[in-house]
Structure 1
Amino acid sequence: MAAPNVPSKTYNYVDRDEIWKVHVNVELESAKVWYSKWGFLTDSYKETMMESKRLKDSMMKLELPQHLKTRPPTPPEKYIQVDHSPPVPQTTQALIGWRSTVPELQLERFGKVNCGKKSFLKELGWTFEACS
């Protein structure tokens, strides 16, 4: 679908420049007058910050109980020991499963995983169609 024909707007660049100059002059005049109208806010802010700093300095530091304090981290070398790997095989055929042949490097450290052979429906004495 073609875009509708929208007549382009004509701009008078001289007028736009004059409008911009007026905006800039208004900003500059506002900046000059701001302190006489709103300068009291900066004084009250400085007073508040000084009071806050004085209160922080005068307050005593609270000590955390021993059970809430964090301990420094233990270096990993203390609880992780890495043994040397067996030499890398020469061929890609021998590369497949080369680490699993060493018993110390096997993933199943606690024996083979046994999956359950029981059925909840059989334990209750229900038929398989009862669930559908």
Structure 2
Amino acid sequence: MAACKPLGSGKECSFVDKDEIWKVHVKIELQSAKAWPNKWGFLNKSYKEMQEESNKLKDVVKLELPQHLKTRPPTPPEKYIQVGPSPPVPQTTQAQIGWRSAVPKLQLERYGKVQCGKKSFLKELGWALDACS
């Protein structure tokens, strides 16, 4: 199996190399999943015991929150959102296209056009652009 170097270092990985690397990762993952109960299975029992103990303590100790830490009930949306009447529905299907966006108050872009970021997560990591689908 040929060693693959990072992007931009000269030699690129072929599809066969990438497939072999993927097979090795899957094999290691399956082996780890089989070995986990023997190595770390005791953690499940400890976690369950701790969870039961925690539930018992919750029942015994009931704390009352101070007034300044309590949450207020939510304000009803009708108090700060007013919905006006819609313009009349057009008579033809041709006129229905964009009939609401023609009215400035009903446009979705109230705060200007949506702008997408120019950074790429994959570029920041130094991965190939087709690494994720």
* TM bucket, shorter chain: 0.3 to 0.5
Higher-Rg structure is 1
